[in-house]
Structure 1
Amino acid sequence: MHQPVQVWPPGAPGSPEPGPGGPVTPVVTKPHKRGIGDIPIRVVYLAGAILVTVVAVLLVFVVFSGDVPTRVDSTGTPVSVAPVPAATATPTASPTPSETPVVLPAVPESKAFATLPGKASVVSGIISDRTSGISYPRLAAPWDAKSFAPFTVAQRIGKVAVPHTVIASAMFPGDAPEKKPSKDADYREMATRAARWTLRTQYPAGATLTSWTGSRKVPVGKGWSLGYKVTYVSGGKTETAQAMVTIVEVGKTKPAMLMASIPEKNKARWPDLNTLVQQVKPL
C-alpha cells in the first residue's frame, strides 16, 4: 500500500522546507504496519493446500500401515498371503553330523498316483510364488495362507505343531547342483532328497517313509512329483500321513520345490495332494 504524502506550507511547523527564520526540525512519520488483511490471497491458498496435503498423507499411513501383502488369484481377486520374514534362512537338505541318514525304499521310475479317500477341497484361486517361480492351487477353507518358515508361501490347517498339515513352496532345500539338471532321472533324484528332508522337518523324530504312492513327471515343463506315506509316533500312538513333493525347473540351476503333508487327523483332505500334483507348474 502507498504511504500518504503530507504537504506543509513553507516555514510551517514540521515542514522540511526552511521558512524565513531558517531551517526547522523535520517530523518523521512511522511506516504503516501490515495486518492479516494485507497478505495476498494467493499466499493464503498455497498455505492451505500444503496443510491439506500433509494431513492426507498422514491419514494414509495411519489407515494402511497394518495391511498384509496380497497376491492375485486367477479371477483377479486379491488373495491375502502373509510372507515369510526376509531374514529366514534357506532350508538345508544336508543332515547335521548328529543326524542319522534317512533310508528310503527304492523309488519307482513311474507310478500312477493313488486315489486317496476323502473329498478334495475347492480350488479358490492360484498362488503365484514369484520368489520360487511356480504356481499351484490355492485351496478354500479350512486351508488358510499364512507365514511358515522356511517356506516362501504356505497354506495350513490348524495350529503350527508337529506333525504339520501344510502345503508350502520354496526353492529346493540345500545347495544348488553344479549344473542344472536335464534328465527326468535327475529331477526324480532331487525329489527323493526333498522327501527325505520333509521326514526330518515335518514329522516327529523317527518318522519313516513306508511306501511310495506316486511317481511321475510334472504336467508342464521339467520336473518330478513323488507321493508317499509316512508313519510316525505321536502321543504314544502310531499314526500315518500322506504327503507329496514336486521339483520344478524354473530357469535356474536350483529348482523350485512344492511340498505338502496331511496327517491322519485331517485325512478327509488327502485328495488335495492329487490336486496339487496335477496343477503345479512353472510361472
Structure 2
Amino acid sequence: MLPPFPPPPPPPKGGLLSRIGDIPIKVVYLLGAILATVLAVLLVFVIFPGDVTDQPASEPVVPVQPVPSPSASTASVPPSGGAAATVPEPPEKRAFAKLPGKASAVSGTIADKTSGIGYPRLGKPWSARSFPPFAVAQRVGKVAVPQTVIASAMLPGDAGTKPSTDADYRELAVQAARWTLRTQYPEGATLAWTGSQKTPAGKGWTLGFEVTYTHAGKQQEGRAVVSVLEVGKTKPAMLMASIPATGKAYWADLNTLVTKVRPL
C-alpha cells in the first residue's frame, strides 16, 4: 500500500509582493515596456507643452475688392486721364504728420508673395483676405463707395519704362494716387498732398493725401496713402490704403503702414 500524499504547502506570507517571483519573466518585461511607454508620453507633454497648439478656427471669407465710382470700371482701368483723376504735382519731400486717432494693434505681417512686398497686418476689427484684383486686402466695414481698405497688388496700368530714380518712383506713386481717387471715391473727388518720402526700405516712394469728396449730399474728407516699390518684376508693386470720413478712427493706422512697408 502506497503512503499518503503529503499535504500542499501553506500559502506564502506577505500578500501580492511575495507572488512576484511566481510571474513569468516575459510578462514582467511586457509590463515594464508598457509602463515605460506611458511615462515617455507623459514626459513629452510636461516638458514640451509649447509644441502642441490649438489651431484657430478659419475666419469667414470677407469679399474685399476695389469698388469703382460711376466713372470707373475695374482695377484694370489705366491710372491716367479724365477730369476726375487730375491731381496736382506732389512735393519732392514732405514728412508725414501724425494723424488723429489710436493706431490699431499690429497682429503680424502681411507677406504678399504675389506682389513681393510685406507690411503690417492689423488686428481686429481689420480682416485680411486674398481677393482679386488685389493680391491681399484688409478691410473694416462694408464694401461701399468709399470704403476703408488697405490692399496690395502690382501697380495697375502700364508702368512704362522701368523706373530708376526717386523722381521716377514718385511719378508712379502719383499714378497710384490717381488710380485710388478714381476707383475708391465718388466722381469729382479731389486730393491735396500730405506727405511725400522714400519708402523705408528698398527703392520706392510713398505719397500721402487728403481726399475731399461729396457723399450723400455732404462734403467729406478722407485720408489715403500709396507706396510704389521695386520688387524685381516688370513693374513695381503697390500698397494702397484709403480711409474715408466714416473710418476716421483708423486714420492713425496710415502712419503705421508708411513706416513698415518694404519689399520681401
Deviation at 1:169, TM superposition (A): 0.2
Amino acid at match of 1:235: A
Amino acid at match of 2:170: R
Deviation at 1:265, TM superposition (A): 1.4
Deviation at 1:91, TM superposition (A): 2.8
Amino acid at match of 2:251: W
Aligned to 1:40: none
Q: Unaligned regions of 5+ residues in structure 1, if any?
A: 1-76
Aligned to 1:255: 236
Partner secondary structure for residue 221 of structure 2: strand
Aligned to 1:171: 154
Aligned to 1:207: 189
User: How do 1:76-225 and structure 2 match up within 5 A?
Assistant: 91-95=76-80, 99-100=82-83, 102-178=85-161, 180-209=162-191, 211-225=192-206
Counting aligned pairs with the same residue, the percent is 62
Deviation at 1:142, TM superposition (A): 1.1
- 1:234 matched to 2:215? The reply is yes
Deviations 1:11-46 (A, max 9, x none): xxxxxxxxxxxxxxxxxxxxxxxxxxxxxxxxxxxx
Cα gap change, 1:217 to 1:201, in 2 (>3 Å): same
Partner secondary structure for residue 181 of structure 1: coil
Cα gap change, 1:82 to 1:222, in 2 (>3 Å): farther
Higher-Rg structure is 1
Cα gap change, 1:94 to 1:124, in 2 (>3 Å): closer
Amino acid at match of 1:196: R
For 2:61 and 2:172, locate their aligned partners in 1 and report how far apart those are by CA, in whole Å. Answer: 28
For 1:133 and 1:203, locate their aligned partners in 2 and report how far apart those are by CA, in whole Å. Answer: 27
The 8 Å contact of residues 84 and 189 in structure 2, kept in 1 or not, is answered as no
- Structure with more contact order per residue of length (Cα contacts < 8 Å, sep ≥ 6): 2
Q: Unaligned regions of 5+ residues in structure 2, if any?
A: 1-54, 65-73
Deviation at 1:216, TM superposition (A): 0.3
Q: How many residues align?
A: 200
Cα gap change, 1:126 to 1:82, in 2 (>3 Å): farther
Amino acid at match of 1:92: V
Aligned Cα root-mean-square deviation (Å): 2.3
Deviation at 1:177, TM superposition (A): 1.9
If each structure's helix is expressed as a fraction of its own residues, which one has the higher value? 2
Deviations 1:232-281 (A, max 9, x none): 01101100100000000001230000000111111111110010000000
For 1:204 and 1:90, locate their aligned partners in 2 and report how far apart those are by CA, in whole Å. Answer: 15
The 8 Å contact of residues 118 and 269 in structure 1, kept in 2 or not, is answered as yes
The 8 Å contact of residues 212 and 226 in structure 1, kept in 2 or not, is answered as yes
Aligned to 1:53: none
Amino acid at match of 1:190: L
Partner secondary structure for residue 260 of structure 1: strand
Partner secondary structure for residue 200 of structure 1: helix
Deviation at 1:150, TM superposition (A): 2.0
